[in-house]
Every structure is written in structure tokens, then in C-alpha cells.
Amino acid sequence: MKFDTPATTNPIDQLKVIGHATSRIDGPLKTTGRATYAYEWHDRATNPAYGYIVGSAIAKGRIASMDLSRAKAAPGVIAIVTSENAGKLGKGNYNTAKLLGGPEIDHYHQAVAVVVAETFEQARSAAQLVKVDYTATKGSFDLWAGRDGAAKPPGRGDNQPDTTVGDFSGAFASAPVQLDATYTTPDQAHAMMEPHASMAAWEGDKLTLWTSNQMIAWTTGDVAKTLGLPKENVRLISPFIGGGFGGKLFLRADAVLAALGARAANRPVKVAMQRPLMFNNTTHRPATIQRIRIGANRDGKITAIGHESWSGNLPEGRPETAVNQTRLLYAGENRMTAMRLAMLDLPEGNAMRAPGEAPGMMALEIAMDEMAERLGIDPVEFRARNDTQVDPEHPNRPFSQRQLVECMRIGAERFGWSKRHAEPGKQRDGRWLVGMGVAAAFRNNLLMKSGARVRLDGQGRVTVETDMTDIGTGSYTIIAQTAAEMMGVPLEKVVVRLGDSSFPVSAGSGGQFGANNSTSGVYAACVKLREAVAQKLGFNSADAAFVDGQVSSGNRSAPLGQAASDGELTAEDSIEYGDLAKTHQQSTFGAHFVELGVDVATAEIRIRRMLAVCAAGRILNPKTARSQVIGAMTMGVGAALMEELAVDKRSGFFVNHDLAGYEVPVHADIPHQDTIFLDETDPMSSPMKAKGIAELGICGVAAALANAIYNATGIRVRDYPITLDKLLDHMPDA
């Protein structure tokens, strides 16, 4: 189905199932332990062996020699795979790092071997006996040191590293009010609960891989290319995923080594990446250095805005696109953005929840607060004065929907923003300095082709099959709601099957594009099934109504299942969007408000209240959408106050590579969180009239916290995370 004109009314608009707060249908499976994750038992992979990965002990250099003799002789060992005996390995479309190192080493903890044994304990024990001698070479591990040599990265389509509009330098130099400030964000880890894990089984030259992966079609293709197989010989299965946040978008070493180990052992093999390797072996959010310059008239109108960002990555890697939101969020006639990429020998930098906008907003939204203070304008009002209803870099392209100002003003009223003291450090509650902060939220809405297959049986049951994944976001539920709405049946009559490469290709889970696109694919398939049902029953499909398990047209009606009484009906289709993304800018907007206290003696920070107001198209399921937003807000707290991968700049690795050293928020850190969804439908986004929301919720949170800390203490911190040492020496006199 081609969707290239704005949606009018359609069956989704009945809102009998869609739009209602619905508990996740996969919840009982997860709470009772019946949900099968990648590392668990599968009936087609009996008697599995276990693989344990050996990671490189250096960050840059070569393997001089590898002695496997003691490991091979260890109890239970079946096989050991290294680059010497793995055979020729190709490279997929989505991999920057080489997934099996040797003899060259590209980064610390790069996989150099997998030991396969009868039990996990035997594999782990034998892996300690693998003796590797390295020849280390000097590497580059410091972004600040590499900043001057950073190069302009290649562009991709419309996403170019540099953009200019007007005369930024001249307009900034002549602006009566100016800001020129530098901000930094650290390397961050996904730190999801479920590790990267896979189980592989071969039947002749056909591979089945149970793996924890967000993008089934991408990864199926990359497995085939890496192992030199026809794509049709690879089947990926990933029905349940214990968190991803972008870290499981791509093929990783656990999947490749499970497949290689299974081939060498001639039996199924499980590989779960040990936690330290998840930090150094897989991907992470790269650190950034960001310089922001804003010039404005005294009435608060921005005349010049410039944003430059530096980040680092392995050769062939991509930059952290931290300037993305600055190209679209605020008006200003004279504009400049630029990205530069330093070559670093650290583990691969890649997508993490809201790549680009999350770290970019951490800087931009502090800069907007600093500018508002210099102008003597309320931060909410300053943002409203610089609103725009068109893409500032392409004024002939309007936003399909843009309610940023509504989000800011509704949030301000609900949060009690008028009670905020504009002068920092003026509100006290006993030993606590109290402050409020605000930041805008922004994330683009991406349109991607997505397909599904829908089946109807004689009992009126509807089964949906698509390779869409559920990473804890509620995909099972909103897809079931879509099918139930379209076919006029209750949720109990819908079965959803996800995460299998034998199903039609969906958008997958990432970039907050999953919900809108995958449900639109299901919508398209259901439109075809409705036509088939109407034809089978002798109805006119144009006016057939599907309600309460009945199909009616004119004065006739029949049970839905009757259409499949002599055999199952099947329909398959995909949603495609034509040029909609070119004619209209599609984005999501919001506002984050925070109130916190800072202990006047210890600089301890305690959050008191948080509010997110979101404008993200139709909310398909308010319950699961709220869960996504408050989870994102919690990640924003971590980014602001504690998350940082500490780089050993001599040896080139992340020191705190486990969940003991890499700090994330716990329940005690998070207060009550409120969410408000504006009543919005975007007819240009899809027939669902929805958008994404899972990443909007993190964008701006960290800056709102930083701004609240400044309001409480008068201390402006521009380097994340905002830890106590950055406050203590500057605290007001107790």
C-alpha cells in the first residue's frame, strides 16, 4: 500500500481498541518465565554446547602468537575458533568493527576466540587457559587530543556534516546579545539487562540463529554476508528481547561466534557475552565536544545560531550527529552547523537511544537557558519567541505538526512554573537549595517501509506475522490493537507473532520509528484481508463494516469467521510513503520540567518532581507510551547525573565496564514522574496518524536537570555528568 497523501478517516479512527490504555499482552509470559529469550531452551536446538568469548587484552596492535594447547586439553572442550580456523569472513552493511579479531587488533576486548565446551563453566575455565601474546602499538584514545585533527565526515543523503544559511559569522558578530560556550558529554553505555546472546544451529548449510536483535532483516543480511551464505539459508528468530536501546540494532560478535562455534562443534552452541565485553566489545554512545554560539536582538529574537560538534570513532565509523536538532528546533535567519570526526581506537561508537538529539539537546538546551538569562527573559517565553512552523534551513518545507509552544505552556501551567525564582539560589527548604529547570524535547519522526502478513481462520481468530521486534516497548500489544481495530474483533481473538526472518520485513525497532511504521504495515495487510473477506462473503468491500466479530454491508451481516470456513484466508502487504518526508518535515516535540534540591553542605542532588509534555501524533496505547516516556526520563537522569564510561587514555579501554562501576539510576533516585500527551493526530505521518515517542522522552531531560541545578545553586555546569565534585567548591556559604 502506498501512503503518499494525508490520511482522512479510516477504520483506525473508530478508536474502539486503538488509543485505549491496554496492558501488555506479553506481560503474563514474562512475569511467569514463559517468554523464551535467545539464550534459553528451544526445541530445535537440543543438547547445546556453550561458547565463551576471549577478548583482546590490548586496544591496538597485533596478535604475535596464540597457544591453545592447554585450553584444548581442558575438560569438556569440543572446539576453539579463532581467525586462523574460522575461514574467510566477510563484512556486513551495518558493521564498523571486525567481529572476530586477529591478527590485527582494532580495539580492547575485540573477540579473538570462542571456546566451545559441554558446559558453560567448562568453557569459561578453558578460556582462561588460552595464552595470547600481543605486540601493542600506540593508539589514539583521547577526543580532546584528537579534536584538532578531526576531519569532515562523508555525508549520507540529505544528512550532510555541514549546513549554512545566511551569514552566520557576520550576524553573530553584530548581535547585541551573544553566547559562545563549549559543552561536553561523555561516552555512555546501553547497559541493558539482557546481555548480547545467541544460539546457533546448523542443518547442512542452513543456519538458524536465535539472537537478541532489534532489526531482523538488517541482521539476517549481515549474517549471510559475514559467513558467505545465501540470505535464504539464514533464519533469525528473536521473539523477546530484554532491552536494546540501539545496542542490538546490528550484528555483534555473540551471533557470529555462536554460528562459527556451532559449525566447528557440529552441534548447537549458545554464546552469551560476559558483561565486561558488553561495554568494550559492543557499541556505545560516543563522547562529544560541542561549541554553541547564539546571537539575539534585545527583544529575544535569535539572529544567529551555530552549533559545532566533535566526536570520535573507529575508521569507517560515523559521527555522533549532535547538531541534528539545531537544524530544526528554533528560528533564526543566519545559521551554521558542523560535525567533525576524530579517529579513535576505542570500541565502536554507534546508535544509543535518540542518537544525535539526546547528547545534542544536553548542550543546546543549556545554551538556550544561558541566553534567556542574558536577555532577562523567562526560559519558556524565550523558546516560544523563537518558534517556527517551517524547517528553518528549508523554509518551503513546513512541519506536518508542530506544537512545541503548546507543550511548553501547558507544562509550565501544570508544573507551577510561575512559582520559580528567576534569580538562582533564592529558594530554600531547610538545608536544601531548591530549583526548577525546563528544556524543550525534540526528535524526528522517520518513515520506513514496513510489512506484515495477516491470517483469518474459521473461528474468527486473526494471526499477525511480521519480523517486527519487541524490545520491551509494547510492540506485541499495539500490533494486536491495530489488527483488532481493523478486523472488528476483541484483543483475545488476535495472535501476534514477531521477530522471525521468515515473516514479512517490518521497520524493526529503532529510531522511535517502530510503532508507527510497524502498525501501519499491519494496517495495510488488514486492508487487503478486509477486501478478501468482503469478496468471500459477497459484500461490497468499500462499505463493509467490521464490528464485534461480524461483517455487515447494507442489510446483510455474517460472522467474520464464515469467510474462512472452508480454509484460512491470508493477506500480506507493506506500507510505503512516497515523497511525504520530502514535502513536509515530520518531527515530535515536547517539554521537560524538573524540580530538585541540592544539599547546601554536601551538594547531594535529589530530584523532587518531573513532568514531560509530549506532542507525538496519535498515542496508540497511553499505558505503554507512558512507560516509554518515564523510562526515557529515567535514562535522562542517568545521563545528567551519573552515567560516564571512564576512558583509560593510556591503554584505551573503558575502565568501569560492568554494572558495579557504570552507575545508572535506581528507584531511590527517581521521584514521581508525570506525563501529558497532547491530543494530536498527524494525518501526514501514516494511516495510523501516530509518531514515535520512545526517544522523545530522553531528549532534553539532562539539560532540564542542569538548568534546575543552576537555578538552585547559581553554579553552571557545562560538562556532563554533573557530579558532586563539579559543585562542591562553588556552593553558596551554608
Give the start-to-end residue ranges of the domains of the chain. Answer: 11-35+448-575, 38-352, 391-446+583-730
Cβ pair 393, 164 in contact under 8 A: no
**CA pair distance 430, 542, nearest whole angstrom:** 68
- Residue spans of beta strands (DSSP E) within 425-490: 428-429, 432-444, 450-456, 462-465
Nearest to 229 by CA among 268, 202, 252: 202
Q: Residue 87: how many CB atoms within 10 A of its CB?
A: 12
CB-CB neighbours of 661 under 10 Å: 13
- Please give the helix or strand (H or E) that residue 206 lies within, else none: strand 206-211
Four-CA torsion 694, 697, 699, 700, nearest 10 degrees: 180
Pairing state of beta strands 197-203 and 131-136?
unpaired
The answer to whether 11-35+448-575 and 391-446+583-730 have equal CATH topology is yes
CB 607 within 8 A of CB 437: no
Q: Enumerate the H helices of 87-198 as residue ranges.
A: 120-127, 143-146, 168-174
Which cell numbers hold the place of 459?
473461528
- Look up the pTM and report it: 0.97
Domain range 11-35+448-575, CATH architecture: 2-Layer Sandwich (3.30)
Q: Write the DSSP symbol of residue 563.
A: G
Whole-angstrom distance, CA of residue 300 vs CA of residue 303:
9
Q: Where are the beta strands (DSSP E) in 524-683?
A: 545-547, 550-553, 556-559, 569-575, 587-599, 605-615, 647-648, 653-654, 673-677
Whether 84 is catalytic is no
357 neighbors 443 (Cβ within 8 angstroms)? yes
Find out whether 51 and 115 touch, Cβ atoms under 8 Å.
yes
Runs of H (alpha helix) within 73-164: 120-127, 143-146
704 CB-near residues (< 8 Å, 6+ apart): 365, 437, 438, 439, 592, 593, 594, 636
> Cell 557545562 maps to which residue?
718
3 state DSSP class of 344: coil
Give Cβ neighbours of residue 393 (< 8 Å, ≥ 6 apart). 163, 165, 327, 328, 335
Q: Tell the burial category of 120 from Cβ atoms under 10 Å away from its Cβ (0-12, 13-18, 19+).
A: middle
CA distances from 472 to 269, 446, 668, 682 (A): 26, 20, 22, 25
38-352 belongs to CATH 3.90.226.10: no
Other C-beta atoms within 10 Å of 472: how many? 23
pLDDT per residue as tens digits for the range 289-314: 999 999 999 999 999 999 999 999 99
End-to-end alpha-carbon separation of the chain, Å? Answer: 66
Q: How many whole angstroms separate alpha carbon 335 and alpha carbon 327?
A: 8
Residues of the chain with pLDDT under 50: none
Confidence at residue 734, expressed as pLDDT on a 0 to 100 scale: 61
Q: For residue 7, which amino acid is it?
A: A
Domain with residues 391-446+583-730, CATH architecture: 2-Layer Sandwich (3.30)
- What one-letter code names the amino acid at 65? S
Q: Distance between CA atoms of 706 and 720, rounded to whole angstroms?
A: 9
Residues found in the chain: 734
pLDDT for 514 equals 98
